[in-house]
Structure formats: C-alpha cells, structure tokens
Amino acid sequence: MRSGIEKQVIQYLYTDRELSCSALSERIEKSVPMVMHALNQLMKRGWVCSTGYAPSTGGRKPLLYSLVPEAQYIVAVAMDQLFTRIQVLDWLHRPITQLETLALPLHDNEQATDILVQAIHKHLHASSVNVSKILGVGIGMPGFVHIQKGVNYTFLPTPNGESLRAYLQKQLQLPVLIDNDSSLIALAELRFGMAKNRKHVMVINIGWGTGLGMIVNGTLFRGHTGYAGEFSHIPISENKILCECGKRGCLETETSLLLLAEKAKEEIRQGKVSQLSTLFKANMHAVDAVLEAANNGDEYAIELLSDVGYKLGKGIAILIHIMNPELIVLSGRGAKAGKILLAPVQHALNKYCIPRLLENTEIAVSKLGFEASLIGAANLVMENLFEWN
Amino acid sequence: MRSGIEKQVIQYLYTDRELSCSALSERIEKSVPMVMHALNQLMKRGWVCSTGYAPSTGGRKPLLYSLVPEAQYIVAVAMDQLFTRIQVLDWLHRPITQLETLALPLHDNEQATDILVQAIHKHLHASSVNVSKILGVGIGMPGFVHIQKGVNYTFLPTPNGESLRAYLQKQLQLPVLIDNDSSLIALAELRFGMAKNRKHVMVINIGWGTGLGMIVNGTLFRGHTGYAGEFSHIPISENKILCECGKRGCLETETSLLLLAEKAKEEIRQGKVSQLSTLFKANMHAVDAVLEAANNGDEYAIELLSDVGYKLGKGIAILIHIMNPELIVLSGRGAKAGKILLAPVQHALNKYCIPRLLENTEIAVSKLGFEASLIGAANLVMENLFEWN
DNA sequence: TAAACTTAATAAAATATTTTAAAAACAAGA
DNA sequence: TCTTGTTTTTAAAATATTTTATTAAGTTTA
C-alpha cells in the first residue's frame, strides 16, 4: 500500500459503502486529482469499482465508487466470558460462512487459547473459503487487552508467555488483531451504528458484566495504558458485595446480568411467580431467559431489569458529568431489552444529572445490537490494514 | 500571520523558550528549510531572535531561537467565585505590572461584569503599559463557559444578553478570550507544568469548590457542549447534603474547602483547640487560614484536610477507572497544602482502585500552584493567536 | 593530530500537491 | 428551447514542500 490516500479511500468506502471522488476528496482533505489517482490504482488492483451515477445535485452527475465486496474477506471473532462467535464476512458485512457459536468459558481456562485456534481452523476448513482472500482475523475479547503488545492479561494464556497475538498469528498463519470486546462494540457503533459521525459517545456494553467503550473526539479512546473505560469497577455502591475484581462496592455488583440471573434463579426456586420458571428449563442461558421474559412483558423480569437500569443510570450520570458526551448507546447482549432498560436509566439520569449537561445528551439503544461485536472485530482488521508485518 | 508554520513556531517558542531550527522542524513536522523561512520572517518582524549556540551533541552546534520577550504583552485575568487577579505578563511570564487582587464575588452579582471591566481598565491605565503592545486579554472564570459563543451561563451577566466576550471586547477595545478556570489551570499544567509532554492528565482544581481540567490525547478536553469535567457534581456521597447545584450527594459537598472552612469556624466557636482560632481573626480568608494552619502542623486543620483528601481520593478513583490517566495533578488554591492532601488521596486510591490501573498512574502536587490560573489565562491568548476577528 | 563520523545550515534539484483552466454533463428559469 | 449557473471530471500550470547535495562546524577515535 504505497500511498496513505489509498488506505483512506478503502476505509471510507468500507464505512460509507458508496462515495463519489469529490466526496472522498472532501473527507480525506486531499485534492480531487490525488484521490482520482488513488481510485485508479485501487481499480487496477480490483478492489474498487465504479457503481453508476448518483442523482445530480444541480450539476454533472457524480460517478460513485465502492469496494468490490468479495475482493477480500475478514474472519470476525466475538468472544465473551462464556461464548465465542466466529464468522467470515465480506466487505459489506455479508456472511460468507454460517455464524458459529461455541461455548468457551474463559475463566481459569488453560486450554481456552488452543480451543479458540482449533475452532477458527475448523471453521475455515469446513466452509470452503479461499484462505488467500482472507485479509486477517479480528478478535474481540474480554479482559485487560494491551493492543500494542498484543497481550491479554486476564484470559487466554499462551505457552511460555508468548504474546497472544503473536501466538495466534503463528498458529493460524494469518494476520491477527485483538482488542477488548467493549472497545470493539464502540468501534462498531462509531463506524456503522448510532455513533456514526459523532464526536463524543459512550457505548455501554451490557453483557454478563458491564463494559464501556468510549468515543472521544471521534476516535476510540484507550487511555494511558489502554484500560480506559473500566466503568464497571467504579466505587459507587454501598452494598459491600465482593466483586470479582477483589474490591467492594463496584458498579458491576449492581448491574451484572449474570448476578441478576443468579438472583432470579434463587427467587424462582423460592416460589416467585414468573414466566422465568419455564424459560429457565429451556435450552437457553438464564440471562437470555430474563431478557426474553422481560420483552414478553413478564412483570418480575421487568422489575429485575428496571432495578439494574436504575443502578446503571446512576453510573451513567457520573459518566455524563465527567465526559459531557452527546450520546449514550446501550449496546451488547442486553440491548435486546434496551427499551425496558431505557426508562429506569432515564429516570436515574433525571435524578442525578445537572440539567444543563443532561439536556444535550441523547440516550439510545443500539440498532446493531448483538451483531456489534462481530462488526467491530471485522472493522478492527480494516482499520489496521497493512500495518502488520 | 501568513503561514501556519509561523504560528506554530511562536507557540513552540512560547512554551519551550529556546529551540533550534531542527528541533522546531521535528516538532512541527515540516522540513528545515520551511521552518528556517518562518524563523526569518518572524525575526524581520522583531518577534523572534537568535540567542546563541547550544552545546554540540556530536556535530555542529545548533543556533538557538527564542521569542523577544518584550515584543508583545498579555493581560492575564484569573477569577474565582470571590477574588479576581489581574496582571500583565510578557512572553516569559515575567510580570510587567504588579499583581492586582480584588474582592469580586460573582454569585448573584449584576455589576460583576462592569466591575471587571473597570478594574482591567484601571489596571492598564495606572501602570503605563503601551496598549498597542498588548496582544489580548485572557480571562479564566468559574461557571459554565461556552467558549465558541463566548458566553458564561452562570456568572458575569451582560446588558441585553450580549455575549460576555463580545461585550468585554467592545468595552476594552482589545481582543478578549474567556474560558473556564479549571480548564485554564489544566492548560497551564499542560504547557508549563507537570503535564508537559504528557498525553492523559487529570488536573484537579482544589479551590472554593472542586474543579477538573482534563488533558486527553495531549490536548484540553472539553466534551460535546464544553462542560466536560463537572467532576464536583458526580453523585457519589450518601451524605444527602444539598449542593449548590440543587442535587444531593455531590462530591462537592464533601470536598469543598468553603464548606470545610465553615465547619471549622463552627467547631472553633464551640471550643475546638487549634491555631485556627487566632488565624481566623487575622486578615485572611478562612480557607487560607485552614491551609496555612495545616502547613504549620496544626493537628485539627490536618485532620480536616485529610478528610477532604480521602473523599477526593474516592472521586479520583472513579476518574482513574474511566480515564486511565498517566498523571493526576493536584492544583489550584489548595495545592498549597498539597503535601498534606497527598497521603489521604493515595490511601483512598489504594482502597478503591484496581491495582493494574493505579500502578501506572502518578499522583503529584502542582509546582505552578496558585500561579497556574494566570499562566493559563496568558496561554489562552497565545493558543488563539490571530484567530479572532 | 589527522581521519572518520556527527550534526547543522544552506542552496539546488526533485517531487508532491494544489490551483487553475477547460470541458463535460446536468438543472432550472426565462 | 436556449441561456445561465452548477457540479464533476480531466488536463495543464503553478506552487508548495521535501529531498538531496554541499558546505560548515564540531566530536571522537586511532
């Protein structure tokens, strides 16, 4: 990739699908002749093609360009503490292989890394994807991920302390990029979701725990050592419950869906009346059961989620005071029940936020939903295009 | 100012005092010939001069350049809720006039703006400063300041709703820049203090209240509508004390030095033994009395400040979790007693922070101290050089 | 103490990039 | 329908910027 312009053209076409030469020129802030040159180079390589004319806006019709979707593929991997999803996507996020979900608990799991490698290997072999067309593998994972070093300090250990990224790269014989799951969800929202073209957005990853991906000045914010957004462990609660992190009073102890599901199970056992009693027996994770029951209007499930929403809202109030974002996006697994969470979150914000700050902050539920993690993983590969060795 | 390079040369020489052409070239990321040209232009104008050779680092000695300190002056104004300081500074921050401090309470004060105007007018007249050499007036002030609009929504009202900046500009017949006081303190730390050359720094403005200026990605962070860093009103306390902002449980209710002084006065009245009983009678603000007593080793004052420090530390723990900064600077009026605050802050951080985050976060007391506000105000003018109309 | 290696400053050449000009394609109003 | 004003595209010219080469000045090593 000679010119930086070519790279930018690819990235803009990836996020915006179809753009004219002059539109690209404005975005990249380079002259039309230079962008035209880059487009011609990319067309020669077969990565870009023109896709007809856009309607005139008062003058000559602009010729539109877009990526050739099937020119290159990306392996997107979205991991959480319990499940891992794998899928090959093209440049339009269209699935090339069927989504594969495997149960892969990461906690204290020495074999996790090798299971992951085997799963990706098998996925690629089972589907007859042309491996030479694969640009790279993007993996979103929980834990303290150091992206420069390519290390995950929390999960997915490697033999003899090699960096996870290097190990995966060696095993898979493909370029591999890893990042924190919440960061990738935020990235997905920034490029393709509700945070698109926004500057300051907080994306809440409502999953087994509570994650945060921060968009600051239009880019993903990582902080000094890459661990910014440790939202779930801010000391805020007086409940004294011991958190996984070893401290007490973490926000996570009040908003974790995993803990909520435990509580629900216990109360159902003690005779609470709810749809959940049957759903819990179905082949479905307890958390998903609660989310589904709430969406079906089950009073008890709604009550449980509302409580989480209110506590979350108090945490978000802190976030708004410090960051003054224009938008808060509720995303991740819990976005399925986003509508139900929205009201109590808003309620808490009204109570805990200075009106001048709140009035300019929008609260929304992700439209990408649970797909955000996969899209973010794919996007990670695209954003780091040709920067690996 | 024709070229953007000239502006950057001025700004780098302003913050770094003396630099060689090649050092400037590296910083500005422009070739040596271009920077040389800009330097020559600026020397023709009499704003820049060469100041001898630097020691060799293995080859030819570099010729150093710096600003001509007395070429232009800046009026720096640092306001807080009770006092306003005014001083004319040169390009080396050397005082051209004597520091003037006037009591100017801003709360519910309709005349505040005109008093400010008159004070600046008088200050400039009394000292015989050549007004044509004044580049502009930089003012740091508390309240919700919207810098684009040049408006302060909290204090300093203007007749018939004109923007504060426009009004001041008209009245003073000089370019005026306004900004939030805590932001300017952070800016001062970034350019001349402990945050220099750092990327992610949180500067705590310990004053009558508790302010926060945020350095993110090496620049001052303002958020969506410019009010980022409303640290003091995060809902964190269970004390239920009604805050000025109208909410209960704000951090400010636990860390405000003004409230602390009130408490001290009350307890002294009830017979508490302390140096404070005599200091309170001196011609000194009660808050300064507490700070001084603490520095003198007064047990009661230290106890009061330690309590504030611990509460503040809990708030800072939240900040660290969200922002993952490399450095926290305790600055502002309270920095005088910074050493006393440091221990309880550190104590709270050890208790409330995830070790992995804390181990990469330095906590320090500002060396600029109370001067930061004036330096920040002057710097505000320099950073917006030639951008006004 | 001279040769070899550094770094800095300047001038000349080469390259990169933008600006301008012109042509093509289209819309809207007279 | 023709004219005028837009916008896009391409080519040519002008400008901006960097690269290279050269000279100058200094340090280090043999």
A86 and A32 share one domain:
no
Q: Do A221 and B226 touch (CB under 8 A)?
A: no
Q: Do A224 and B200 touch (CB under 8 A)?
A: yes
pLDDT, tens digit, 9 for 90 and up, residues B5-57: 999 999 999 999 999 999 999 999 999 999 999 999 999 989 999 998 888 88
A49 and A124 share one domain:
no
Please identify which residue in the block is written with the tokens 């001052």. Answer: B220
List bases, strand D, within 7 Å of protein CB: 5-12, 17-20, 24-28
pLDDT, chain B, mean: 91
Output the domain CATH number for residue A30: 1.10.10.10
Question: Which 50-109 residues of chain B touch chain A by CB within 8 A?
Answer: none
Three-state DSSP at B34 gives helix
Tell whether A189 is covered by a domain.
Answer: no
Tell whether A190 is covered by a domain.
Answer: no
A326 in reach of chain B (CB within 8 A): yes
Distance CA A254, CA B217 (A): 32
Beta strands in chain B (DSSP E): 18-20, 48-53, 63-67, 73-79, 83-89, 100-103, 134-141, 145-146, 151-152, 176-180, 201-206, 210-216, 219-221, 327-331, 362-365
Of B279, B277, B233, which is closest to residue B256 (Cα–Cα)? B233
Pair A257, A290: CB distance under 8 Å = yes
How much is the average pLDDT of B95-101?
Answer: 95
CA Rg, chain B, in Å? 22
Give how far B285 is from chain A: nearest CA, Å.
30
A112 and A213 share one domain:
no
pLDDT, tens digit, 9 for 90 and up, residues B231-268: 988 888 777 788 888 888 888 888 888 888 888 888 88
Distance A189 CA to C17 C1' (A): 34
Tell whether B42 is covered by a domain.
Answer: yes
Closest CB to B224: pick one of A247, A318, A324: A324
Beta strands in A162-236 (DSSP E): 176-180, 201-206, 210-216, 219-221
pLDDT number for residue A2 = 53
A238 in reach of chain B (CB within 8 A): yes
Three-state DSSP at A48 gives strand
Of A313, A312, A288, A293, which is closest to residue A303 (Cα–Cα)? A293
| Average pLDDT along chain A, 389 residues, taken 10 residues at a time | 81 94 92 92 91 86 92 96 96 95 95 96 91 94 94 94 95 96 97 96 93 96 94 84 82 86 82 70 79 88 92 94 97 92 96 92 96 96 75
Q: What residue type is A44 in one-letter code?
A: K
pLDDT number for residue B202 = 98
Distance A23 CA to C16 C1' (A): 22
Output the domain CATH number for residue A145: 3.30.420.40
B227 in reach of chain A (CB within 8 A): yes
Of A191, A189, A241, A239, which is closest to residue A211 (Cα–Cα)? A189
Q: Which nucleotide is nearest to A33 (CA to C1')?
A: D10
Report chain A residues whose CB lies below 8 A from the CB of B323.
223, 228, 322
Distance B58 CA to C5 C1' (A): 9
Helices (H), A29-163: 32-45, 112-126
Q: Is the CB of B26 under 7 A from strand D?
A: no
pLDDT number for residue B389 = 39
Q: Is the pLDDT of residue B2 over 70?
A: no
B128 and B209 share one domain:
no
Spell out residues with C-beta < 7 A from strand C: A 3, 29-34, 53, 55-56, 58-61; B 20-22, 32-33, 36, 57-63
Q: Do A361 and B224 touch (CB under 8 A)?
A: yes
Report chain B residues whose CB lies below 8 A from the CB of A354.
230, 233, 245-247
Q: Which residue of B has its CA nearest to A246?
A: B354
Distance CA A98, CA A346 (A): 38
Q: Which of B51, B70, B89 is the last residue of a domain?
A: B70
Tell whether B259 is covered by a domain.
Answer: yes
Q: Is the pLDDT of residue B198 over 60?
A: yes
Rounded to the nearest 10 degrees, how much is the dihedral formed by the CA atoms of A116, A117, A123, A124? 150
pLDDT number for residue A279 = 66
A220 and A358 share one domain:
yes
Bridge partners, residue A48, by sequence? A67
Distance CA A365, CA A193 (A): 10
Tell whether A97 is covered by a domain.
Answer: yes
pLDDT number for residue B195 = 96
A51-65, B95-109, B217-231: least confident range: A51-65
B280 and B341 share one domain:
yes
pLDDT number for residue B38 = 92
A363 and A229 share one domain:
yes
Distance CA B370, CA B355 (A): 32
Rounded to the nearest 10 degrees, how much is the dihedral formed by the CA atoms of B297, B300, B303, B309? -80
Tell whether A191 is covered by a domain.
Answer: no
The protein residue nearest D25 (Cα–C1') is B60
CA dist B81 → A142, A329, B380 (Å): 45, 36, 20
Number of domains into which chain A is organized: 3
A286 and A359 share one domain:
yes
B154 and B296 share one domain:
no
Of B338, B388, B328, B335, which is closest to residue B358 (Cα–Cα)? B328
Q: Which residue of B has its CA nearest to A219?
A: B217
Q: Which residue of B has its CA nearest to A250?
A: B352
A345 and A238 share one domain:
yes
* Beta carbons within 10 angstroms of residue B13's beta carbon: 22
Q: Do B235 and A360 touch (CB under 8 A)?
A: no
Question: Which 345-364 residues of chain B touch chain A by CB within 8 A?
Answer: 351-352, 354, 356-357, 360-361
Q: Which of A70, A90, A108 is the last residue of a domain?
A: A70
Q: Which of A22, A38, A70 is the last residue of a domain?
A: A70
Helices (H), chain A: 4-16, 21-28, 32-45, 112-126, 164-172, 181-192, 252-255, 257-269, 276-279, 286-295, 299-323, 338-352, 355-358, 372-383
Of B256, B297, B259, B245, which is closest to residue B276 (Cα–Cα)? B297
B83 and B38 share one domain:
no
Q: Which residue of B has its CA nearest to A325?
A: B224
pLDDT number for residue A389 = 38
CA dist A167 → A121, A162, A330, B97 (Å): 14, 6, 34, 64
Q: Which nucleotide is nearest to B35 (CA to C1')?
A: D17
Helices (H), B227-370: 252-255, 257-269, 276-279, 286-295, 299-323, 338-352, 355-358
Report chain B residues whose CB lies below 8 A from the CB of A317.
234-235
Tell whether B154 is covered by a domain.
Answer: yes
pLDDT number for residue B95 = 95
Report chain B residues whose CB lies below 8 A from the CB of A326.
224-225
Q: What residue type is A389 in one-letter code?
A: N
A139 and A221 share one domain:
no
Count CB pairs under 8 A between chains A and B: 123
Tell whether B190 is covered by a domain.
Answer: no
- Range(s) of the domain holding residue A83: 72-184+373-383
